[in-house]
Structure 1
């Protein structure tokens, strides 16, 4: 996954933001925060995780499917991507 290696710094920054959002969610639950506040924190964490997933999927599609010169490997990688999307959409 060369695209992950090339984008490591940016992806790690996203993961760290997600960690902060999850920590804020945990803190809100521990503090008996209002359910609205907990829902806002949960939605923020979910949105951040979705953005990370889309970033990685986009790189995978560009590098391992669209730019793959070998048709058999391209087809195989397209199947891998579809399987990932099916699992993600659950």
Structure 2
């Protein structure tokens, strides 16, 4: 079973929160909210998208890069964890 199917509920919850945030941006724009308020909402959407992206990348790395190589290949697992940490810092 694919890691996206195994974590489907968690991923869909993130997508639904994103949808709600985007709808909030739409409501603010329709209401003529100050640009700073809209920008703050957009920044939160960006953070949420980055969080979803990071979760998908981490799961992909662990499922398709590390797991097939894990038995006896600790260097690959360590390298993948280092890469995940770098990506996490980049996306925050």
TM category, shorter? 0.7 to 0.9
Question: 2:3: which partner in 1?
Answer: 3
Q: Counterpart in 1 of 2:76?
A: none
- Give the drift of 1:55: 0.3
Give the gaps of 5 or more residues in structure 2: 70-86
**Mind listing any 5+ residue stretches in structure 1 that lack a counterpart?**
70-84
Which residue is 1:64 aligned to? 64
TM (normalized to structure 2)? 0.73
**Deviant stretches of 4+, over 3 Å:** none
TM-score (norm 1): 0.74
Q: Aligned pairs, how many? A: 72
How do 1:1-90 and structure 2 match up within 5 A?
A: 2-69=2-69
- Superposition RMSD on alpha carbons, in Å? 1.9
